[in-house]
Structure 1
Amino acid sequence: MNTVTRLKGAHAQRQRGAVAITFALSLLVLFGFMALVFDLGRTYVVRTELQNAADAAALAGAKDLNQKLTGITTAIATVIAIGPKNETKFSFKGNAAIDITVDMISVGSCPDDVCMVPVSSITTDGQAADKTFLKVYIPSGGLATFFAGIAGNATTRTYGRAVAGYYLKEITPIGICAIDPATAGGRRPVAGGLPDELTEFGFRRGIAYDLMELGPLVANSTPFLLNPIDVYPGPPCDNNHSSASYARNFICAGTSASIVSAPSWAFGSTGMSWGPVRDALNSRFDDFGGGANACDPTSAPPDVNVKQYTVPGGTGAGPAGNPRDWTQEGANDYPTQQSITIDSATHKPVPAPTIGQYGALWSYSRAVQAVGTVPNATAGAAFALSDWENLYGTGLAADTSATGYPASPPIPPFPVGTLAAPYNTLSGNKYFTAPNPSHPGKRDRRVLNVAIVDCAASSGNNCNAKIRIIGVGRFFMQTKAVNPSSIYAEFDGLVNPIPSFEIRLYR
């Protein structure tokens, strides 16, 4: 064999060695892609199967939660029964019914993990009283791999996880003193031979009040901050649930679980820390603040209309859209203050000595006629704009010109029968401002359902305060909550019956 032949043979051997190495490396890459396609794809399919089962089980079980131990027991049975109605076709068990056991179920007072406890730990009605959310967690177990095992990954794991439930009542955990706690429905005479005006626990529809001036009947009072979770009479309230920081999420959402009905009792709180309360309320105006006090725009969206209805400042007329645009035709004098004055000694509204001191009127609702007898009169027809002078005093007449108070009834999405009002004008920029497009708004988020309290019948302090709830009132926030501490809100009547949240999936 000559030299050339030997060289050619050696070269061929080297080529064969290089091809073998390349082929081996290609196999590793190929098996890697096959692991992605087959093993991870299979894991994804199993995740979807388990998630569908978890969603169905959580929704079905949450419907059984009734704040009683019997509801907990029923929910457990419902969730476990839902499991076999779902199958996993690609899991380690093959085509098998999904098995849900009691250790996969948790319940809580809010949808977050921090609120959840094992369902097996609930053994009394008291423990079940605030449990309105149910979590189902279904682990897959080990899923044997086909190709990833070559790299040492013999199994993969996944899970299905769902939380469903409801905040018991759409009531912001804030309580204000009733002006007239003995009269749920009263009558106030109106000049000009018009029918009497309805008052509800002393509040008049269409008039704004500073809620921060309607606290307990003591000097320098602030409203009650209510314990949003613990249901009276017990078990005893938890101090961990009795702070403004804890109540913040409930104020953000405008919900609570502790006010079951009216009349009823509720636990108080350790005090109204203004910062967290202010920031939580202002989420309704697309102002989410920052840091630990920030609300989540997803669970606490802004209103669809974030226009503030502020009175003219000082001697200036204020920007267009202020109440001066609908209070006086061709004038900029009224109103002279944002809300009606509350006497610091009696905690009652001061009869307005001048027409400008009624505050911003009818930005959301209107005064209504009283029907029936005291103390249980009810709402009749709404008064007209032309009745302002008889309702509020000589010289005060709503501006019904083309540039004044809205004259046309609102169009959908407002319900049929909704009367014209600045808030109900969803066009232009005079009475309407949309939130940031990244934060889709929700109509009536500026309406606070607030507990109305018989302050004389309430007692105690901090967590052990015993608060007498006699009703729930609707109050429309005309402006953001402002420093040093004011919540200007227009009364829109009593809430009856007390509303509840729909059951829905949270995650």
Structure 2
Amino acid sequence: MLRTIRAFWHDQRGVALVLVAIMLPAIIGFSLLVIDMSRANNLHNDLQKGADAFALAGAAELDGNPDAIIRSDRAIANLVDNTYKFSSAGPIQTLTNAGITRRYLRSLPPNDTDAIRVQDVITDEVAGAAEAEFVEVTVDPTGFSAIFPASFLTGNTGDNAFNIRATAVAGFAGVVVCDMTPLFICNPFEDLGVPLHQVVSDQNFYRKGIKLVQGGGTGSWGPGNFGFLRPTDDHGYGAAELADDIAQADTPECINSRGVNLRTGGPQPAVRDAINVRFDIYGGQMHSNDPLIPPAPNVRKGYKYKNSKNPNACNMDPVTNTTELTQFRQMTQDTSYTGRIGNGMWDYEGYMAANGFTTSDMAGFVDANGSAYSNANPPSRYDLYKYEIAHGLVDDASLGGETGVAACHASPSTDPERRLIYGAIVNCLEHAGDLNGQSGAPIPAVGFASFFLTEPVDQARTNGDIMAEIVDIDGEQGRGTMVGFAKDNVQLYR
């Protein structure tokens, strides 16, 4: 008997089965916990992605305009939906705007771990829409049923189910542009008392001529004035540096619409020279052998040689007799605005005659209805400029012998947009107190616009003003040509 007991004591066969039988509930329970954790994590991940997407879609519309919240709600409702798995509602569900709550914020606490404060929340979404910089999206509690039978341990039948939530905060950090002309332009429509984007939507904004007059000291800034931008930390941004950056259309840093740094002051002759390089005119510090400042591929400008016996393309003067040599004609004033805006009408037929363009030359140049252009139905001068380039008319001589071919600079640009300048549009009347040299506070830009230079800046002919045509503006009201130029800067903050 003792031998049998001793043998049984030392016999280990089948012990694994015993141990497994003892540990099996724990193994199964741990496996179920792992599966539940994985399912719950996947559900939370899906819900968080949905919250992030809704917040980003809404934040992209918070541009400071009075209808920003209306557009943000529309984007949340129509642009985004996400699927999620493993909820108690079924295997695959769709998260739409009906499954979230949102609130708009004017600010955020200084620390990410701090809760949203009362002063951060916009309670009046009509009056406070322009203040909205952030949107907080919270996914409604979503049920999750665990496989692990926790109720067996606690005795509470509800322990197997709980809710999962997700929250995201996104904000519109402004429109960001890089490599632009360092100019700002006083909103030419500010005195109408309506936001710029509304003017763009309701008026024939594009194709209008605009006379940009350089602003001076405090109190002389109004619709249509222009000034300059400077780098954020460079309060000694000099005239020579500014002129180089204008000539190259290259700001020293990217610019954010939330605040542009201004460089105001009196007229800058160097700026005239910097703009005129696009017309193959070089003076001051601008040199015709500089590859960084080439002229545009079409520089027709109504100039003649100073010495016809010894013609020199780098030594020309503007003409006053425009029957044989002519630039793009100026538009007549639109009396609807107190700013310096043209009404879209200009002497198209005179331009055609002076430059010898025939009906055959312009056969493909018609309006949207297929009708030929005329003085009663003039085209955009920017469109005509591009048509001349695309149809080989640049080297056609005018009645006075001028062509649009650059001859002073050895290597003209092939990019038609070389005759465009870009400017940040600011409300100068609203921020008159900040237009003070290089020391004023940053001013928000209500938009960015591109302008086609219709003729050189000349003291005798244009009084030193910039004569241009409005081509495009950034944002949803634009024509789309600035999509790659101005980029909305939207980001997640929480």
Q: Give the TM-score of the pair, scaled to structure 1.
A: 0.42
Q: Which has the larger radius of gyration?
A: 2
